[in-house]
Amino acid sequence: MLALHIKRWFAAAALALIALLTVASAAGAEPQTLRLMTYNIRLDLASDGVNAWPHRREWVAEQIQWLRPDIFGLQEVLPHQKAELIAALPRYRMFGGGRDGKDSGESSPVGFDTGRFDFREGGMFWLSPTPDVPSRAWDAANRRIATWVRLRFRDSRADVLALNTHWDHIGIIARRQSAAQIIRWIESNARPCEAVVVLGDFNSTIDSEQMRAMTQGKPSLRDARAITKTAPFGPAGTFNAFRTAPARPEAIDHILVGERIDVERYAVISQVIEGRVPSDHFPVLADLRIASCR
């Protein structure tokens, strides 16, 4: 009799486990929607005069709040700018240190909506042959970094690996080497079934040698603007030099996406407030749909 009860208990437990796994599998199989943004907010320089950070920080925070990205990458963020944005945007966490070590100097943080994601891990590396220590390499004018986070959707088992970077504005060799280094890092660190996205101010047009290296080989990254299902919205150019129209016709800020990701919409938000713009770059957005991984 006891043996019969044990068998029944094991059978019930097995059925419960199967049901639990089925529910979890079904949740993980649902496509996920995701809004990405990359935005160079311009560091705080008094020499910018009327465009200096104190005169536009509320605009930048309000833009982010209104556009409501799920994950975003910012560039040229000084420590006090980061602290002010964190205070103004309580729904988000911003991860990433400064390029001069710890939280010193400009950072390229990744922000994410804590209501949608659990933070699993993150880090940063310098774009140089010595990626673990603050360093400037090749012909770069400044130290340059990449920040990464691994996030999990709270309503499923789906993971996102997001990188954010800011390439050098002077060094041609540095930009090419930065592309090669990030590609190697993704190949070594991306896990099966992770959705991979790369955000940043690349100081490069999409047809440049370094951006072709990012999009024409492994790990199969694609330019969000090129594959959007609907026509891109807004100007093509993303750098405005604090003017209300792009200073050049091509984008230098890009969103790249990996496999199993469809881009539903893409936009460059050329918002003008009281005749001015919140930054010397326009924010770039992409709405994605991430297919399940089976």
Task: Flag whether pLDDT at 10 surpasses 50.
Answer: no
Cα distance between the two ends of the chain? 43
Mean pLDDT of the chain: 91
Give residue 29's pLDDT band: very low, low, confident or very high (50, 70, 90).
low
pLDDT tens sequence across 176-231: 999 999 999 999 999 999 999 999 999 999 999 999 999 998 888 999 999 999 99
Dihedral (C-alpha) 91, 261, 216, 41: value to the nearest 10 degrees? -20
- Structure tokens of 73? 């990458």
pLDDT of amino acid 255: 99
Task: Flag whether pLDDT at 25 surpasses 90.
Answer: no
Contact call for residues 128 and 180 (beta carbons, < 8 A): no
Cα–Cα dist 98/73, whole Å: 14
pLDDT tens sequence across 246-264: 999 999 999 999 999 999 9
Give residue 294's pLDDT band: very low, low, confident or very high (50, 70, 90).
confident
Question: Cis omega before residue 219 (within 30°)?
Answer: yes
Which residues partner with 36 through β-bridges? 71, 286
pLDDT of amino acid 27: 39
Question: Cis omega before residue 79 (within 30°)?
Answer: no
pLDDT of amino acid 272: 97
Nearest Cα to Cα of residue 164 among 179, 148, 182 = 148
In eight-state DSSP terms, residue 291 is P
pLDDT of amino acid 274: 96
Q: Helix or strand or coil: residue 55?
A: helix
pLDDT of amino acid 22: 36
pTM: 0.90
pLDDT tens sequence across 124-166: 999 999 999 999 999 999 999 999 999 999 998 899 999 999 9
pLDDT tens sequence across 169-178: 999 999 999 9
Cα–Cα dist 99/85, whole Å: 18
* 21-24-27 Cα angle (round to 5): 150
Q: Which residues contact 228 (CB under 8 A, 6 or more apart)?
A: 263, 264, 265, 266, 286
Contact call for residues 235 and 250 (beta carbons, < 8 A): no
Tell me the mean pLDDT in the region 102-111. Answer: 96
Residue that has been written with the tokens 């949740």 in this structure: 27
User: CB 21: neighbour CB atoms within 10 A?
Assistant: 10
Which residues partner with 144 through β-bridges? none
Task: Flag whether pLDDT at 46 surpasses 80.
Answer: yes
